[in-house]
């Protein structure tokens, strides 16, 4: 992204809104430690141009991530990644994760993704979580 290479892709044909796709994609990169605290994200206009979306769409994603504590937004200075205090999970956020995980697997099975491939993905992610590959 620093080299202007797009690291995010969005699918305009998806039923998921573009700002949600951008938010999810950036959040995944942030959680994976791809952007260290102090580093700068592209400006709203740069990223909007890269992705081919309206700049309001990117601005909305940046606002959500700022509200979540990932970014510091300063007019004219772009978006800076900040050290994020770990929030306390609510029982709802745990329950929501559990439900969404089941829904996601149900969808994959419906689409014919082989059980072994699904188990492989779950295992791979578990290992990453246990070895600190995801912060």
Give the residues lining the site for a second copy (CB under 8 A).
15, 17, 20, 24-25, 27-28, 30-32, 68, 70, 86-90, 93-94, 97-115, 117-119, 121-123, 125-126, 129-130, 134-135
As a whole number of angstroms, the distance between CA 135 and CA 132 comes to 6
Please report how close the Cβ of residue 72 comes to a second copy at its closest, in angstroms.
Answer: 16
25 conformational bin, left if phi > 0, alpha if psi -120 to 50, beta if neither: alpha
Please report how close the Cβ of residue 81 comes to a second copy at its closest, in angstroms.
Answer: 13
Mark 85-105 as b/e (b = at least 16 C-beta within 10 Å).
Answer: eeeeeeeeeeeeeeeeeeeeb
Please report how close the Cβ of residue 15 comes to a second copy at its closest, in angstroms.
Answer: 7
Which C-beta is closer to a second copy: that of 77 or that of 121?
121
In Å, how far from its chain's centre is CA 22?
Answer: 7
Please report how close the Cβ of residue 85 comes to a second copy at its closest, in angstroms.
Answer: 10
How big is the chain by its Cα radius of gyration, in Å? 17
Which C-beta is closer to a second copy: that of 39 or that of 129?
129
């Amino acid at each position: 992204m620093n080299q202007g290479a797009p690291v995010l892709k969005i699918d305009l044909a998806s039923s998921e809104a573009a700002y949600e796709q951008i938010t999810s994609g950036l959040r995944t990169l942030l959680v994976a430690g791809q952007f260290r605290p102090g580093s700068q994200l592209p400006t709203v206009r740069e990223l909007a141009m890269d992705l081919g979306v309206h700049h309001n769409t990117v601005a909305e994603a940046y606002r959500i991530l700022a509200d979540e504590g990932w970014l510091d937004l300063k007019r004219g200075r772009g978006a800076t990644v900040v050290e994020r205090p770990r929030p306390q999970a609510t029982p709802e956020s745990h329950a929501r994760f559990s439900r969404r995980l089941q829904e996601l697997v149900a969808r994959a099975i419906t689409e014919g993704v082989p059980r072994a491939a699904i188990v492989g993905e779950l295992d791979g992610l578990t290992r990453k979580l246990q070895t600190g590959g995801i912060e």
